[in-house]
Amino acid sequence: MAKRLLLISNSTMAGEEYLGWPRTYISDFLKSEGVNKVTFVPYAGVNLSEESLEASYNVYLKRVAGVFGAMGFEVESVHKATNPVLMINEAEAIAVGGGNTFHLVAMMHQTGIMDAIRGKAERGTPYMGWSAGANVACPSLKTTNDMPIMEPSSFDTLGLVPFQINPHYLDANPEGHGGETRQQRIEEFLAINRDVTVVGLREASLLYAEGKLLKLLGSRDMRLFRFGTEPVEYNPGSDLSFLL
């Protein structure tokens, strides 16, 4: 069956509710597939205000379940499962939340769900992810913006798309900051990984994939990076199927 993917740059815009801007896209995506229950992966949620990682995951689950519940979908979380791989294998749809990509990838490898999710998505189970959850749909985590707070057993991720995503892509550094721009960081990556394409996915934008179709949705342009060429901008609604 054809892969069905919703890869979202960010969960929340300033001044909006959590998962506010992509809510309609999420609802339409799941309803079009007849989904009733979503299996959630909370492992990117590392919250220092909580007493433990388990508590952090519980808070994350409650937040996501509240949003999805209001749209008519039940949510279960792999961190509650005695057998996370079995839960993934029985999932109607999979959602991977944002947060720290390194911790997320480490836990996905450690629990065995990396391979399980890949297999399910390759067989047509709807997959969505925001921020870190979009990163892990790529071949590796190497274009994340996050600090390596934990060392995964491998940087390899799901490989559901053949290109890399840089979520939360910014065009310039904050005023007064003298460090590298996001474009310069991506160009560093491309200097070492010359055959890889990188999508700079700005906030309030997402990629929708179904089989051999890939489209940019949302309200912001996307920037495409390849080694040795100038970046190219694409407008919302653009057909990006050539990237697959």
Residues involved in catalysis: 131, 146, 168
33: helix, strand or coil: coil
Q: Which of 22, 23, 24, 30 is nearest to 5 (CA)?
A: 30
The region that residue 159 occupies, defined by phi over 0 for left and psi between -120 and 50 for alpha, beta otherwise, is left
242/209 Cα distance (integer angstroms): 12
What number of H helices and E strands is found in the chain?
Answer: 7, 11
Q: Which amino acid is at 125?
A: T
Q: What backbone phi and psi angles, to 5 degrees, belong to 237?
A: 95, -10
CB 45 within 8 A of CB 60: yes
Q: Which of 133, 41, 136, 23 is nearest to 91 (CA)?
A: 41
